[in-house]
Structures are given as C-alpha cells and as structure tokens.
Structure 1
Amino acid sequence: MVATAAAAQPVPLRRPGALLRAPAPSLPASRAAAPFPRRTASMKISQLPLTATRFSKESDSAEDDELLSELRDKWDAMENKSSLLLYGSGAILAVWISLVVVGALDSVPLLPGLLELVGLGYSGWFVYRYLLFQENRKELANNLDALKKRIIGDDE
C-alpha cells in the first residue's frame, strides 16, 4: 500500500517553465497532409454573382383564390356531402390499416424477401408483356386511354 501511495504522488519538475519554452517540433511537409489539390481558378463565394428576387404573393394569390373558389363551388354543388366525408375518412382508415398490415408482414422472418422476389418476378413479367415490344406498348396505351375514359366519363 505504501508503494502505491508513493507512486500516485506527482513528481515535481526542476524547471516548471521548461515545457512552456520548448519549441514545437516541425513536421516535414508531405503530400499526405493535403490530399486534395488546390484549385487556383475556383471562385470564392464572395465572387459568385447574386441576384435578388422579390417574393410576390400577388401573382400566387390570384391563382389561390381561383382554386379556392372552384373548390367552394364544387363543394356547394355536391348533394350528398356526408357520403364524401364518409368515403374520405374510410380512405384514410384503409391507408392506416394497410400500413399496420404491411408492418406486421415486415416483421415475419423470410416473408419480406419472398414478397420482394414475387414483386421482382411480376415486374419482369410486366416488362416482357407490355413494354418490350412495340405492339404491346400500343396495346397498353390503348388500355390506359380506355381506363381513363371510363374513370373520367369522357364520351368523345
């Protein structure tokens, strides 16, 4: 115990200022110190041209007012507003439930990898079936146009 107590005491220096006056050792200049070459032609931030633009709410406010008035007109024209609210809340609930189901499926071991493999196979089939050949691309475009007309109800 006496030996550990003696070792723990600091040893006084003969000249306390000797460490402060010692010159710092100079390190040799090497290429490893600066790995990136300096570019002399690069521009500093202060040299970049800056242009100030004024933010204008006037041009956007006219478009916003037009959009809001159009939405108000459509909302007032709706006969059954409660069904729209019911469908909207049902859609939000369906998205929430699907996120919960996907999270539960993601926690099952091996299932996410299997589902990724199924998705990769389906993507490959879709590319082969609809995107690889020109006549199939035309068929896909016609199918999408027909679906768009069915959804929008455009009878042109």
Structure 2
Amino acid sequence: MLAAAAAARPVPLRRPGALLCAPVPCSLPASRVAAPFPRRSASLKISQLQLTATRFSKENDSGEDDELLSELREKWDAMGNKSSLLLYGGGAILALWISLVVVRALDSVPLLPGLLELVGLGYLGWFVYRYLLFQENRKELANNLDDLRKRITGDDD
C-alpha cells in the first residue's frame, strides 16, 4: 500500500534534497502501528531485581560490615578532640572547593596560565639542578624525604 502511495506522487530526482523533504504517506492510524520492540513486562523486571538483591545479600557478609563499623565507632570514641577533626575536614573540603573556583577563574585571564606554566618550568629546572644532577644532592634529597616520612608516620628508628 505504501508503494502505491509513493508511486502516485513522484519526487523529482534533479534535487536530492527533495527526497528528504518529501512527506511519506501512511494510511495506518497511530493506534494500529506496532511498536518496533516488544515491551518487557513489569513482573520480569521485578523478578530480576529480586534475584539480584538476593544474590547480593548472600555474597556480602554482614559480620564484616558490623566489625568495620564497630572499629570506626571505637576509634571515634577514643578520639579526644573531635571538634578539631571536624574543623580540619571541613577546612579541607572548603579549600578544595575554593581551589577549583580559583582555577576556573584563572583560566579566564589571558596571560596568567602561560605565566604560571613558565614559573612551573623554572621551578622544575631549579629542582633538577639542585637535587637531581649530582650524587651528593640526590643523597641529601633521599635523606630529607626519609626524615619527612619518619615525621609523618611517627617512626623514630
């Protein structure tokens, strides 16, 4: 039926764009047009969800989760100065947010990214000359990093 309707109204081939603009006749009402893909029933989705939830609950051992939570509670209760931890954590989140805002603002200044890149390359050159070129300086850098690691971890060998 579509072929007959298309044949009844020929489209000139001189203009290829006319093929895109030509309306396609359709004699079927919208309610009778079949969907291209059959729809899944809701019961199938629910049964798959239940199967996944059952499998997930069997794989996870709630004893391990309870043990982890109890350890975290013990450490939180043993901490003496909770307000400073919350203050430092909030400050870290605020500093991260501000740094992201500042970086986006700095990208709008035309010469600043290039200038900062030049400063970074200069510092890199100085660092290589100061610590990496000569063996004595590399030993000094290794000792400085080892001392810093000991101060952070609290190891006093």
| TM bracket (short chain) | 0.5 to 0.7
The aligned residue for residue 129 of structure 1 is: 130
The aligned residue for residue 91 of structure 1 is: 92
Q: How many residues get paired?
A: 103
Aligned alpha-carbon RMSD (Å):
2.9
Comparing 98-107 with 109-118, greater Cα deviation is found at: 98-107
TM-score (norm 1): 0.54
The aligned residue for residue 50 of structure 1 is: none
Give the distance between the partners of 1:146 and 1:57, measured in 2 at CA: 44
CA displacement, residues 39-81 of structure 1 (integer Å, 9 cap, x when unaligned): xxxxxxxxxxxxxxxxx9569x85x666555433322210121
Unaligned runs of 5+ in 2: 1-9, 13-57
Q: Which amino acid aligns with 1:102?
A: V
Bigger Rg, structure 1 or 2: 1
> What is the percentage of aligned positions where both structures have the same residue?
81
2:69 aligned with 1:75: no
Task: Determine helix, strand or coil for the equivalent of 1:75.
Answer: helix
Q: Which amino acid aligns with 1:73?
A: E
TM-score (norm 2): 0.54
Higher RCO (C-alpha under 8 Å, 6+ residues apart)? 2
Q: Which amino acid aligns with 1:75?
A: W
The aligned residue for residue 138 of structure 1 is: 139
Alpha-carbon distance change, 125 to 68 in structure 1, aligned in 2, over 3 angstroms: farther
Moved over 3 A (4+): 56-59, 64-72
The aligned residue for residue 108 of structure 1 is: 109
Q: Which amino acid aligns with 1:144?
A: L
